[in-house]
Amino acid sequence: MIVFPQTQQGDNLMENLEKEVIQPSLGDKVGNFLGFVGIHVACIFAIWTGVTWRSLVIAFVLYWTRMFLITGGYHRYFAHRSYKTSRAFQFVLAFLGTTAMQKGTIWWSARHRIHHKHSDEPEDIHSPKVYGFWQAHIWWFLGNKHGSGITDLSRVKDLVKYPELRWLDKYHWVAPIMLTGLCYYLDGWTGLIVGLAWSTVIFWHCTFLVNSIAHIWGSRRYQTKDDSRNNWFIALLTMGEGWHNNHHHRQGYARQGVKWWEIDTTYYILRLLALFRLIRDLNPVSKNKLKSDPVEETAVELTAP
């Protein structure tokens, strides 16, 4: 169980958090594992529930909505702060993001920032280069090795200062339970099995591909210190996250597909949200920045193996 300090305020709190590394309990680990396996097994029950058009529409909507919440919310906003928004909309992104069942954004962002700081080094627990494909794909959060499940709060001080985000990290299961009820209300057991379980399993594995395949297969535009790749197929499945070598090169930019033909649906939606003033100060890759970027000038086009 994640327990955050509740009583200290201001500098004292931050000083405390700087040292805080939260270990998951045995119950957390077992629950995590059973939940993951259980949703996979539940998919088979479609043999008995059948498949309806309504359940397929639910699955389609849930796949793409939650994909955006992870790519545009958890990843580009919380982990990289590539744009700004109000505290209210920040909470909306974080709360809806927990429906993706990838825990809370504090845990997610802390892990992701370690990935960038130590990409493809032993500290990067989902590096396919160091630990192999399956560790990079699923074992890094299901297994018990290399500190999986640990939350290093010193890396997310900008997030832990918000009590509502800390609450969401502790109660990340609230929104998924509400979503389960909604799917059942909309299409009964078929809504649960096809609409929710199918879409969740497919969505999970597509996002995991960014950790595994996008560090193995694809092209490299930039000579980053890691093995990150640009993979157009993963980019289509993940609303632009497959332009992973671009992203490792410029982690703070909201736009990951830097060429016009590098489809980056997350960025297009972010532009739309900016148009409606829900978010602001989007940090795109501007032409001026491209020109003044020294790594870009010396970058070499590399061929995928």
Q: Of 146-154, 160-168, 175-183, 228-236, which segment contacts Zn ion by CB under 5 A? A: 228-236
**62 with 199: CB under 8 angstroms?**
yes
- Shortest distance (Å) from residue 223 CB to Zn ion: 15
Q: Which of residues 8-47 bind Zn ion (CB under 5 A)?
A: none
The pair phi, psi for residue 255, each rounded to 5°, is: -100, 125
Nearer to Zn ion by Cβ, of 207 and 228: the residue is 228
Counting residues that bind Zn ion (by CB under 5 A) gives: 1
Greatest Cα pair distance in the chain: 59
Nearer to Zn ion by Cβ, of 55 and 231: the residue is 231
Token digits of residue 118: 């130590």
Nearer to Zn ion by Cβ, of 228 and 231: the residue is 228
Q: Of 56-64, 220-228, 264-272, 293-301, which segment contacts Zn ion by CB under 5 A? A: 220-228
AA identity, residue 263: I
**Calpha distance 134→34 (Å, rounded):** 18
Nearer to Zn ion by Cβ, of 104 and 128: the residue is 128
Q: Of 25-33, 132-140, 221-229, 257-265, which segment contacts Zn ion by CB under 5 A? A: 221-229
The interface mask with Zn ion, positions 175-214, x = CB under 5 A, is ----------------------------------------
**26 with 45: CB under 8 angstroms?**
no
**Calpha distance 6→277 (Å, rounded):** 33
- Shortest distance (Å) from residue 79 CB to Zn ion: 6
**Calpha distance 223→130 (Å, rounded):** 18
Nearer to Zn ion by Cβ, of 151 and 228: the residue is 228
**Calpha distance 164→183 (Å, rounded):** 26
Question: What is the crossing angle of helices 163-170 and 105-117, to 10°?
Answer: 90
- Shortest distance (Å) from residue 70 CB to Zn ion: 11
Q: Of 126-134, 150-158, 222-230, 271-279, which segment contacts Zn ion by CB under 5 A? A: 222-230
| Nearest in space to 141 (alpha carbons), one of 106, 103, 174 | 103
**Contacting residues toward Zn ion, per CB under 5 A:** 228
